[in-house]
Amino acid sequence: MKYFKILMAGAILLCASGSGASQSLPGAASKQYYRVLQNWLRDSTRAKTQLESFAATPLDDLFNWNEITRRAFAENWVNLSVSWQRRYTEAVRKRIMKTSASRLSELRAYLNEKNIRWEEESINKDKAKTGFHIVRDNALEKISLRLLFSGETWKVYDVRTEKFRLIRDVFSAYDELISNGFSHEYVEAVIVNDSVFTIDNFTANEEGDYPKQWGWRKKDDDYIRANRRLYFIQKENEDAYLSSETSDASVALVKPFSYHIKEYPYLSWRWRLREFSAGGETDRYQTQITEVAVIFYQNWLGMPVTLHYVWDPAASPCATIIKEGLMIDSYAKVIRNESNPSNEWFVENVNPFEDYVRIFGEDPPEQIIGIYLSSESDSGKSASKIDFDDFVVRKAAHVPSCSK
């Protein structure tokens, strides 16, 4: 990161000691706090271990994580739940910790108290500005710190130079992602640079409940409201999962969820078939037992453009099934074709981005709009009991359920 050394140099000058900083900050005590962090960095192995494990470090005494995050998410902060405010605050903390851990050797070489020229600070009630000049490449560069008095200490919430601001240039882009409709789990993963995040593992639900943040198509209103046990949460050894029980019906359960599919192209989940009785289906497309689908976008007619991953005992593994429609064709990829019920969970790994390119001959829109699942038993008096769990998105591939 181009300006990371500036950020950390500024941090070092005002790092609080283990006993906490006094209200004299950012005055004469600044040099004392500089030495606290300098001493901590002498044992770089210990410091790196602490940073990589996100353990408490002197950086927690320095930075006001909540204020940094609140200002970074200025447009959306008040609309976030308390839970998500906390999660984003921790994500910002982890981002700085991870970056610090990756650049410790540069920091140690960069720190030299002789290169620092202090300036007078300015204090206005609970806010303060302080600054200094530091020698970089034989030139003086001014670094300005913004501090907020929190509890009994002054803590930094922004670091600025002539061309750089920590909040504006590092964190404000994530506020824009939220404004553009991206889901919180995705934004959180981007902040921390995680390679994986969870769409849903159903742990936020109570047993017997309808799954939170999942909905259904308007045409299914009457059926869903009359059959609350069609989809519900169950637990097994304290692990929550989604269960469906359908008979002579096909109702899709939809979760609006938006992320950058080219950046995170791999989708995984697990499912199992507990009970199944086949009916007298004659329509080739209706022999499938269940499916998980990715909703890429809505076309100009308002119809969703989707790609289906199906469990179909009458189809060949990895086959692509095309169902011609009046206005738009449907495409399904056969992931599994077992027909005998069991208690065995099957983990699936698919690449919707790659499959879309293969089928449609072009890249999909970068921002998908959701996923849905369905237990198919809408013809021939068929019935099924199917469980779903652990919908996860990844940057890197696991072993694919189908390789073609």
Question: Where does the pLDDT of residue 10 fall: very low under 50, low under 70, confident under 90, or very high at 90 and above?
Answer: low
> Closest by alpha carbon to 235, among 273, 209, 196?
209
Whether 398 and 266 have beta carbons less than 8 Å apart is answered as yes
305-363 residue pLDDT tens: 899 999 988 888 888 888 766 667 789 999 998 777 788 999 999 999 999 999 999 99
Percent of the chain whose predicted confidence (pLDDT) is above 70 = 82
Instruction: Produce one character per residue of 37-49: b if its CB has 16 or more CB atoms within 10 Å, e if not.
Output: bbebbeeeeebbe
The 8 Å CB, 24+ separation contacts for 204-208 are 205/233, 205/240, 206/233, 207/233, 207/234, 207/235, 207/240, 208/232, 208/233, 208/234
Q: What's the average model confidence in pLDDT over 373-401? A: 80
Domains and CATH numbers, the chain: 4-192 (3.10.450.710), 197-394 (2.60.120.260)
Query: 22-39: per-residue pLDDT in tens?
Result: 445 555 545 666 677 778
CB 363 within 8 A of CB 354: no
**Model-wide pTM > 0.85:** yes
